[in-house]
Chains A and B, each alone.
Chain A
Amino acid sequence: MGVKQLSVFLENKSGRLADVTRALAQANINIRALSIADTIDYGLLRLIVNDPERARAALAEAGFTVALTEVLAIEVPDKPGGLANIIDILAKEAINIEYMYAFVGRSGEHAIVIFRIERADEAVQILREKGVRILTGEELQSL
């Protein structure tokens, strides 16, 4: 039920992000969501794209080190308290969120948030029981 996310290792020097976006543009890859985690020396660029396998190949070709991981794309009601409800559910179960960021597109009345959480299988089950919708890779791409 996860969606594939690319993580690209980037040194903190000017022009590197541009190199990534250019390589993806040339491969005709569309970026759907992204976030950056950084330290003093380097950053990790996390990407959700329309074609993860092809994007990974294009980036590797351009000399980047890329890791592929599964994350959850969770529908969040686009209203006050929407995100709070979902995070409350996880907090009650003591499931930690490693990181999260927003997806560009929408699913009907819902926003989509990308989550990386521990004990993902368990989390999915609990969220579904509470009526939270989790999108598959195909569903996400069809938006």
Chain B
Amino acid sequence: MYFWNREAECMRLEELRALRDWLLVKTVRHAYENVPCYKRKFDEIGLRPEHIRGVADLSKIPFTTKDDFRENYPFGMFAVPMDQVVRVHASSGTTGKSTVVGYTRNDIAVWAELMARTLGAGGTTKGDVVQNAYGYGLFTGGLGAHYGAEKIGASVIPISGGNTKRQIQVMQDFGSTVLCCTPSYAVLLGETAREMGVDVRNLPLRVAFLGAEPWTESMRRQIEESLGIDALDIYGLSEVIGPGVSYECMEKAGMHINEDHFIAEIIDPETGEVLPPGSKGELVFTTLTKEALPLLRYRTRDLTYLEPEPCKCGRTFVRMHRVMGRTDDMLIVRGVNVFPSQIESVLMEIEETEPHYLIVVDREKGALDTLEVWVEVSPRIVSDEVRSLEKMEQKIASELQSTLGISVKVKLVEPKTIARSEGKAKRVVDRRDLYNGS
């Protein structure tokens, strides 16, 4: 078994509990005193920070949601002045506004530690060559993995996503031993290598850390066989910290949550009740050490369960099963979060289009996800020239792309082809089979 920080990762449970109680009290006070949103939530129900004396009191605290981020856009959830914020990242919001997160210098150091544990659990050490194909930028994946690998002392290739043939070339020429990317990109890399006549199984590549989107056990087998590697699942979300929230060890039996930095709960998404250990429900996180953006009971909308049994690897951190679904309609396409409401608001802003649309997500074997948006034509769009229709398709596609941050194919369809809403409209057809066989 590999460890980056055995002392922390295998901490005795009594010690971990005491540490968490102490850190939670500190975090609650920090959030209450410095973030008006939390103060308001507490005051509304007459809750005082001193009522929270430890993790046992956690369920008294009201939930935090993505809406809180939207209402406090961009920096309203930050608990420190901007002169202490050294980094900002962002992910998709449910409408036009993105979810903005911030980090102090210490937050960045914690994040690097957590990603070092993540990469270390798969045996990454200095001397490894880490090909980091997560996107660099506002997305937390690229820089998160980068800092973790650097902290270990590995040689990082910050290649970012895309340019798949060059990825294979670099993997060959630089002798990459560790790969970081989304699982679907790992599949694509395998397919592309085969097309180029390269057998990755004969290259030094040994392990991959795959996350940012749901995948299945059968995808794991496919990736491990075609690349000749171990494929480990990693989990994170930018609101909590980014990648590094939880990570698999070589047992490949669920992801260990970094419990000295985060508290995980499983709740009933309907009632908000905390569910007993082992029940499936919505995952909720409270941060324990975050300075710039403390989070109290943040609802992830991810459905999973926590594995109550200890892991064979010796880590005492609880494991979460891979994400089994969502409680909202968020889609993850090529690692990017997409809300149907974002697409709708773009279409509403384009004068000629009607709000009748269908989102079709698909994944061809060995290829990346495709996102198609079907838009019904209106008399205002149709003319006698194909060229003007194509121009309209391009206009919609480029507006969507600039909002969503990923490429979109727009397809014009006849009116009434998209089912009219009787109650809840069917806006999304997801042809990928992401949550089955997991």
Residues of chain A at the chain B interface (Cβ within 8 Å): 5, 7-11, 16, 37-39, 41-42, 44, 46, 63-67, 69, 71, 98-99, 116
- Contact A44–B385 (Cβ < 8 Å): yes
User: Which residues of chain B (84-114) have a CB below 8 Å from chain A?
Assistant: none
* Assembly CA distance A66 to B383 (angstroms): 8
Asked if A69 meets B414 with Cβ closer than 8 Å, knowing A9-B377, A42-B389, the reply is: no
Q: How far is the CB of B37 from chain A (nearest CB, A)?
A: 46
**CB-defined contacts of A66 to chain B, threshold 8 Å:** 379, 382
**Lowest 10 CB-CB distances: which A-B pairs, in order?**
A7-B384, A69-B384, A67-B382, A37-B386, A9-B382, A65-B382, A65-B377, A9-B377, A67-B383, A11-B414
- Contact A39–B384 (Cβ < 8 Å): no
* Assembly CA distance A109 to B381 (angstroms): 39
**CB-defined contacts of A10 to chain B, threshold 8 Å:** 414
**CB-defined contacts of A116 to chain B, threshold 8 Å:** 384-385
Choose from A39, A46, A63, A65 the contact partner of B390 (Cβ within 8 Å): A39
14 A–B contacts, CB within 8 A, in A order: A5-B384, A9-B412, A11-B413, A16-B414, A38-B386, A44-B382, A44-B385, A63-B415, A63-B416, A64-B414, A65-B378, A65-B379, A65-B415, A67-B379
* Assembly CA distance A66 to B382 (angstroms): 7
Shortest Cβ distance from A38 into B: residue: B386
Q: Does B436 contact A (CB under 8 A)?
A: no
**CB-defined contacts of B383 to chain A, threshold 8 Å:** 7, 67, 69
**CB-defined contacts of B386 to chain A, threshold 8 Å:** 37-39, 44
- Contact A41–B411 (Cβ < 8 Å): yes
**CB-defined contacts of A8 to chain B, threshold 8 Å:** 382
Shortest Cβ distance from A70 into B: residue: B384
Q: Does B407 contact A (CB under 8 A)?
A: no
- Contact A98–B414 (Cβ < 8 Å): no
- Contact A11–B384 (Cβ < 8 Å): no
- Contact B414–A65 (Cβ < 8 Å): yes
**CB-defined contacts of A9 to chain B, threshold 8 Å:** 377, 382, 389, 412, 414
Q: How far is the CB of A71 from chain B (nearest CB, A)?
A: 8
Return the CB mask of B358-393 against A: 1 if under 8 Å, else 0.
000000000000000000011101111110011000
- Contact B390–A67 (Cβ < 8 Å): no
Q: How far is the CB of A18 from chain B (nearest CB, A)?
A: 14
Which secondary structure dominates chain B's binding surface? loop
**CB-defined contacts of A5 to chain B, threshold 8 Å:** 384
**CB-defined contacts of B382 to chain A, threshold 8 Å:** 7-9, 44, 65-67
- Contact A67–B389 (Cβ < 8 Å): no
**CB-defined contacts of A64 to chain B, threshold 8 Å:** 414-415
- Contact B417–A11 (Cβ < 8 Å): yes
* Assembly CA distance A41 to B413 (angstroms): 8
Q: How far is the CB of A7 from chain B (nearest CB, A)?
A: 4
* Assembly CA distance A10 to B416 (angstroms): 12
- Contact B414–A67 (Cβ < 8 Å): no
Choose from B377, B381, B384 the contact partner of A46 (Cβ within 8 Å): B384
Shortest Cβ distance from A39 into B: residue: B386
* Assembly CA distance A41 to B382 (angstroms): 14
**CB-defined contacts of A7 to chain B, threshold 8 Å:** 382-384
* Assembly CA distance A67 to B426 (angstroms): 29
With a 10 A CB-CB cut-off, give which of B384, B386, B414, B416 has the most chain A CB atoms.
Answer: B384
**CB-defined contacts of A41 to chain B, threshold 8 Å:** 411-412
Return the CB mask of B291-304 against A: 1 if under 8 Å, else 0.
00000000000000
**9 further A-B pairs in the complex, CB-CB below 8 A; given A9-B382, A71-B384:** A7-B383, A7-B384, A9-B377, A9-B414, A11-B413, A11-B417, A44-B389, A65-B377, A98-B385
Q: How far is the CB of A116 from chain B (nearest CB, A)?
A: 7
**CB-defined contacts of A69 to chain B, threshold 8 Å:** 383-384
* Assembly CA distance A101 to B190 (angstroms): 50
Shortest Cβ distance from B415 into A: residue: A65
**CB-defined contacts of A67 to chain B, threshold 8 Å:** 379, 382-384
**CB-defined contacts of B390 to chain A, threshold 8 Å:** 39
* Assembly CA distance A66 to B411 (angstroms): 18
User: Which residues of chain B (3-62) have a CB below 8 Å from chain A?
Assistant: none
User: Which residues of chain B (381-438) have a CB below 8 Å from chain A?
Assistant: 381-386, 389-390, 411-417
Q: How far is the CB of A129 from chain B (nearest CB, A)?
A: 27
**CB-defined contacts of A37 to chain B, threshold 8 Å:** 385-386
* Assembly CA distance A37 to B412 (angstroms): 15
Q: How far is the CB of B376 from chain A (nearest CB, A)?
A: 8
* Assembly CA distance A71 to B381 (angstroms): 19
**CB-defined contacts of A46 to chain B, threshold 8 Å:** 384
**CB-defined contacts of A42 to chain B, threshold 8 Å:** 389, 412-413
Q: How far is the CB of A20 from chain B (nearest CB, A)?
A: 11
Q: How far is the CB of B382 from chain A (nearest CB, A)?
A: 4
With a 10 A CB-CB cut-off, give which of B379, B390, B411, B416 has the most chain A CB atoms.
Answer: B379
